[in-house]
A and B are shown apart, each in its own frame.
Chain A
Amino acid sequence: MRRLRLDRLANPQLLALVGVLAINWLLFPSFFHVTWQDGRFFGSFIDVLNRGAPVAILAIGMTGVIATKGVDLSVGAIMAVCGAVAATMVVAGYPAPIAIIAALAVGLACGLWNGFLVAVLDIQPIVATLVLMVAGRGIAQLITEGSIVTFNDPSLIFVGTGSFLGFPMAAVIAVVLMVLVTLLVRRTAIGLFIQAIGVNRAAASLAGIHSRMLLMLVYALSGLCAAIAGIVVAADIRGADANNSGLWLELDAILAVVIGGTSLLGGRFSIPMAVVGALIIQAMNTGILVSGFPPEFNLVVKAGMIILILLLQSPYAALPFKRRPAASNKTASS
């Protein structure tokens, strides 16, 4: 389905981000107040970038998965596993780069496992990734032996709390990853193939696309992104918490992707918009915190936001513009 030309001019996600930031600014006038201290920027807005990075990194991988009509529920658990691997290896005396590479390899392996279940065994993505979602946290606890493994390795901590050109390292990693993955899928035919699989896998296969290999690739990328997010989060708190690291972040990542305009029914996707979606979620979180509401309001606001998006994506929202067949309701969003 072709998108409406109008969508390309007015970008609802960016408008929403500007809107949320503006509300934050109204509630908390010094929201955009950024200071330079100790060779880096400080301020609420920088904090949004920093705190939003893990979900943004997850959302980059999740976008590809959702574009193939799948979903990856296991990313939160993979975060916990990879954080645990990195932390325990550093504590055991391995240098930080080796620990990071090992954690990334574990994340990649987890992703390939999911991809194997989905692509080769033809299991529905929700169940296939549920396996690792349930078992993953247990495995993470097995690695940390049930305790929170804390570490003091400066180079590993740098990944989570360091700064690059004054910007928080986590945000820099997210941006670099976003640019790399976007170039990978948009400058090659991979993005088109992913969309083709999402729209109709059987037809894509008949058209000569190696859908199995691409599905493996997409889930592997999601696992890799989860590993990066897990390392960032572990480095941020200087410890690996198998119980709470990445807990329910898979849902935030899915929400970010959906806010970014990627349909859960597969097909059309946008990685930069998913990152913007992650920033919208984090800007709301921060806004609720700095304006003094209890953090519990967060969940209710998130629920309200999902309902709003659903209304905007629904066939009824498109009625005033043009009468279209029901099958195209996803393309007429916003």
Chain B
Amino acid sequence: MKRSLRPLAATAVIFIIAYGLAVLQFPNMLSTRVLGNFLTDNAFLGIAAVGMTFVIISGGIDLSVGAVIGFTGVLIAVLTSWLGIHPLVAFAIALGVAALFGAAMGFTIHFLQVPSFIVTLAGMFLARGGASIITQDSVPIKHEFYATLGDLMIRLPGGGKLSFIGMLMILIFLGGALLAHRTKFGSYVYALGGNSVSASLMGVPVARTTVQIYMLSSTLAALAGIVFSLYTSAGYPLAAVGVELDAISAVVIGGTLLTGGYGFVLGTFVGVMLLGLVQTYIIFDGTLSSWWTKIVIGVLLFLFIVLQRVIFAASAPGEKSPEKV
């Protein structure tokens, strides 16, 4: 058990060291204000990454996350601004639509026996295209409910603010961790990712679980879309392009294996925070250009993948491929 926690510990240690180094250079980074913004700025990414964690633990991948975020934003903006529906009702509609969308993808993946990669690619095209057909412009959301939610925050000592969406992300992470490690559904997900054939032989309801996993991912992506629309007060069909890649990066950096069967929801939280740290550091530095973010994330991804290889090669000597002889 201790050995299996190594990647999570490695990620956490690297985050603490990186944060420590950043604080040494810019002492201002150790403030509740920066920490509060960390949570607020990455809330939508974090929520989407929780869903992605479940998908990846089950051995799949969901490329439609960013498109679902964009679609949800547009849907909510259109429902509230054009049709005058209360945001809460619009939220419920958006979550429902996304749940159906995810269920359809899960259905296709299971019953047509096709790789999730290609199904969710179709889902990505469909959601992005659907959002673009509804509107091609950014639709502003002006509703007092949005202002109320925006003002809802806990003031931290030191001038920091823990915003509503930041708290929501933390709640989702805690809920996700409970769901993964303390429920039947969670153990089904791990079993599926380990080996779907033996999982079904052991009595795991493979079809139901697959549908539920993609429903969960799409619903959380829609929730991320809601958070994103709260964050930007607008819906734009090209919003959150490429967020699925950030989410996958966060999940991988958080110690989850892309082959499935192994991973931690809380590791993903550290992964999201590490991505946020890179961005914040580059803003603090001021001389580094924004494209360094991408390069650093790429390097981090590489380091963590190699780290995982090393740890797993050391812990499982029997699984070496035959050509190494």
Let me know if A138 and B298 touch, CB within 8 A. yes
Instruction: Contacts A124-B258, A141-B291, A300-B126 given; indicate if A310 touches B305 (C-beta within 8 A).
Output: no
Q: Give the contacting residue for B128; candidates A255, A264, A299, A314; CB below 8 A.
A: A299
Known A121-B309, A123-B309, A297-B133; 4 more pairs at CB < 8 Å: A127-B258, A134-B298, A206-B322, A265-B115
Mask, A221-247, CB within 8 Å of B = 1, is 000000000000000000000100000
Let me know if A299 and B129 touch, CB within 8 A. yes
Shortest 8 CB-CB contacts between residues of A and residues of B? A135-B298, A299-B129, A138-B294, A296-B132, A141-B291, A306-B122, A303-B126, A300-B129
Instruction: Contacts A134-B249, A138-B291 given; indicate if A307 touches B297 (C-beta within 8 A).
Output: no
B→A interface (CB under 8 Å): 61, 108, 111-115, 117-119, 121-126, 128-130, 132-133, 136, 237, 245, 248-249, 252, 258-259, 289, 291-295, 297-299, 301-302, 305-306, 309, 321-323
Q: How far is the CA of A298 from the CA of B126 in the complex (A)?
A: 10
Let me know if B249 and A122 touch, CB within 8 A. no
Let me know if B118 and A310 touch, CB within 8 A. yes
Determine the chain B residues whose CB is within 8 A of the CB of A18 once the complex forms. Answer: none
Q: How far is the CA of A71 from the CA of B117 in the complex (A)?
A: 10
A326 in the interface (beta carbon within 8 A): yes
Mask, A302-316, CB within 8 Å of B = 1, is 110011001101111
Instruction: Contacts A138-B294, A313-B114 given; indicate if A127 touches B121 (C-beta within 8 A).
Output: no
CB-CB nearest in chain B for A145: B289
B64 to A: closest C-beta gap in Å: 10
- A-B contacts, 23 of them at CB < 8 A, read A121-B305, A130-B301, A134-B249, A138-B291, A141-B291, A141-B294, A142-B292, A242-B291, A255-B121, A264-B117, A297-B129, A298-B129, A302-B122, A302-B129, A303-B125, A306-B119, A306-B122, A307-B122, A310-B112, A310-B114, A310-B119, A316-B112, A329-B113
Q: How far is the CA of A242 from the CA of B291 in the complex (A)?
A: 10
Determine the chain B residues whose CB is within 8 A of the CB of A315 once the complex forms. Answer: 112-113
A139 in the interface (beta carbon within 8 A): yes
Mask, A93-133, CB within 8 Å of B = 1, is 00000000000000000000000010001111011101111
A146 in the interface (beta carbon within 8 A): yes
A205 in the interface (beta carbon within 8 A): yes
A251 to B: closest C-beta gap in Å: 6
Determine the chain B residues whose CB is within 8 A of the CB of A121 once the complex forms. Answer: 305-306, 309
What number of A residues sit within 8 Å (CB to CB) of B? 54
Q: How far is the CA of A12 from the CA of B174 in the complex (A)?
A: 50
Determine the chain B residues whose CB is within 8 A of the CB of A303 once the complex forms. Answer: 122-123, 125-126, 129
Q: Give the contacting residue for B129; candidates A134, A135, A296; CB below 8 A.
A: A296
A209 to B: closest C-beta gap in Å: 9
Instruction: Contacts A122-B321, A134-B249, A311-B112 given; indicate if A139 touches B302 (C-beta within 8 A).
Output: no
A254 in the interface (beta carbon within 8 A): yes
A→B interface (CB under 8 Å): 71, 117, 121-124, 126-128, 130-139, 141-142, 146, 201-202, 205-206, 211-212, 242, 251, 254-255, 258, 264-265, 294, 296-303, 306-307, 310-311, 313-316, 326, 329
Instruction: Contacts A123-B305, A296-B136, A299-B132 given; indicate if A130 touches B249 (C-beta within 8 A).
Output: yes
Let me know if B245 and A130 touch, CB within 8 A. yes
Let me know if A132 and B298 touch, CB within 8 A. yes
Q: How far is the CA of A310 from the CA of B126 in the complex (A)?
A: 15
